[in-house]
Amino acid sequence: MKKYRDIVGDGGSHIAEQVQEQQGRLKARLAAVRRVVAIVSGKGGVGKSSLTANLAAAFARQGAAVGVLDADLNGPSIARMLGVRGMRLKITEAGVEPPRSAQGIRVMSMDLLLPSDETPVTWEAASQAEAHVWRGNMEANALREFLADTAWGPLDLLLLDLPPGTDRLSTVAGLVPSLSGTVLVTIPTEVSHLVVKKSVTVARATGAPILGLVENMAGLFEGSGGEALAAEFAIPFLGRVAFDPRLAAAADVGVPFVTEHADTPAGRALLEIADHLSAALSPLPGSSPPHPASPQWGEEKR
Ligand SMILES: Nc1ncnc2c1ncn2[C@@H]1O[C@H](COP(=O)(O)OP(=O)(O)OP(=O)(O)O)[C@@H](O)[C@H]1O
Ligand SMILES: [Mg+2]
């Protein structure tokens, strides 16, 4: 796509039409996806990607058709965590076919496109200030392209692993009008809570329901817990995932922790969080809460 600088006065490139056409394709793609859920936390390093990878694996265990879009263009980690790093993207008539993990999870990430480990995505601009202004715009363009061109096929659930930064969710929500909900992640420190509180405000502004808050790395720090934070904002508390070095080791070798260590405190917590989310996402038509613990993914057909 041309840069704005190239088309001031529009020089015939019809950029507005290009964006509109892409947004149309994106909408058509997402029509085959039953639910889109964003995993967010303004705070970096709290375990968004780990939670996304493990929830995807937990949903796949329940029989759901799951996809994960790594919306972190400059710190992509999902491909590694789900063991698809280095796999080839297949270009077909229908679009770009994402690789599947051993658990059947379809994964799309900038990590599958970048030529080397050391090369970050940079946005060229005449000045630093201009680069900053354009970064958000270019990121939105790149994500729109991912969403418009990835041939996920029919999915029960598409998880979006967001980068840190409270502004990122607004960008994504602007691209995905059918966002089914957001899941917030914190760790038990005041510093994390401080940033996550801002994320609650952004999440509310999207209009999509906040499905709940997860406390990760529980037990590692003495700070106040996520449960109190969830209560303060009247959002559901989804659970507490203990700090477990095996979780980091599993991510490094590309096998979701819940696949190999389901019967550990952290494994059970992750599976329970997935159950809560499934229930919140798949109410039986006409039923009122409480929802069944484990919905029959794929039964309520598109
Ligand atoms: N409960 C846990 N126990 C042990 N290690 C964990 C746990 N959760 C996450 N980690 C590890 O902590 C590190 C950061 O986690 P992760 O990359 O998932 O965070 P993130 O929020 O996605 O980070 P970023 O903001 O950079 O995207 C990773 O090495 C991960 O394996
Ligand atoms: Mg991450």
136 close to ligand 1 (CB < 6 Angstrom): no
166 Cα–ligand 1 center, Å: 18
Q: What's the pLDDT tens digit per position in 194-217?
A: 999 999 999 999 999 999 999 999
Q: Give the per-residue pLDDT at 114.
A: 74
For residue 292, being part of any structural domain is answered with no
For residue 294, being part of any structural domain is answered with no
Q: What's the pLDDT tens digit per position in 99-158?
A: 999 999 999 998 888 766 666 666 566 676 666 666 777 888 889 999 999 999 999 999
For the chain, the average pLDDT equals 86
Considering only CA atoms, which residue is closest to atom 29 of ligand 1?
248
Helices (H), the chain: 15-30, 48-61, 78-81, 128-149, 168-175, 190-206, 226-232, 245-253, 257-260, 265-281
49 Cα–ligand 1 center, Å: 7
For residue 92, being part of any structural domain is answered with yes
pLDDT beyond 80 at 49: yes
For residue 131, being part of any structural domain is answered with yes
- In this structure, how many other beta carbons lie within 10 angstroms of the beta carbon of residue 113? 14
For residue 3, being part of any structural domain is answered with no
Return the higher-pLDDT residue of 93 and 83: 83
49 close to ligand 1 (CB < 6 Angstrom): yes
- Residue listed under structure tokens 């209009």: 207
216 close to ligand 1 (CB < 6 Angstrom): yes
Residues above pLDDT 90, as percent of the chain: 63
Parallel, antiparallel or unpaired: strands 33-40 and 155-161? parallel
Average pLDDT, integer, range 18-32: 87
Owning domain of residue 172: 16-280
pLDDT beyond 50 at 43: yes
70 close to ligand 1 (CB < 6 Angstrom): no
pLDDT beyond 50 at 288: no
For residue 160, being part of any structural domain is answered with yes
- In this structure, how many other beta carbons lie within 10 angstroms of the beta carbon of residue 152? 22
How many domains, in total, are found in the chain? 1
Ligand nearest to the CA of 261: 1
For residue 153, being part of any structural domain is answered with yes
Strand pairing partners for 91?
96
90: confidence class by pLDDT, cuts 50, 70, 90: confident
For residue 261, being part of any structural domain is answered with yes
Strand pairing partners for 157?
35, 66
Which CATH number covers residue 188? Answer: 3.40.50.300
Q: Give the per-residue pLDDT at 299.
A: 55
Residues above pLDDT 70, as percent of the chain: 82
223: confidence class by pLDDT, cuts 50, 70, 90: confident
pLDDT beyond 50 at 57: yes
48 close to ligand 1 (CB < 6 Angstrom): yes
Q: Give the per-residue pLDDT at 13.
A: 61
Q: Give the per-residue pLDDT at 293.
A: 43
Q: What's the pLDDT tens digit per position in 225-281?
A: 899 999 999 999 999 999 999 999 999 999 999 999 999 999 999 999 999 999 999
Distance between CA atoms of residues 101 and 169, nearest Å = 26
**Which residues are within 5 Å of ligand 2 (an ion), measured at CB?**
48-49
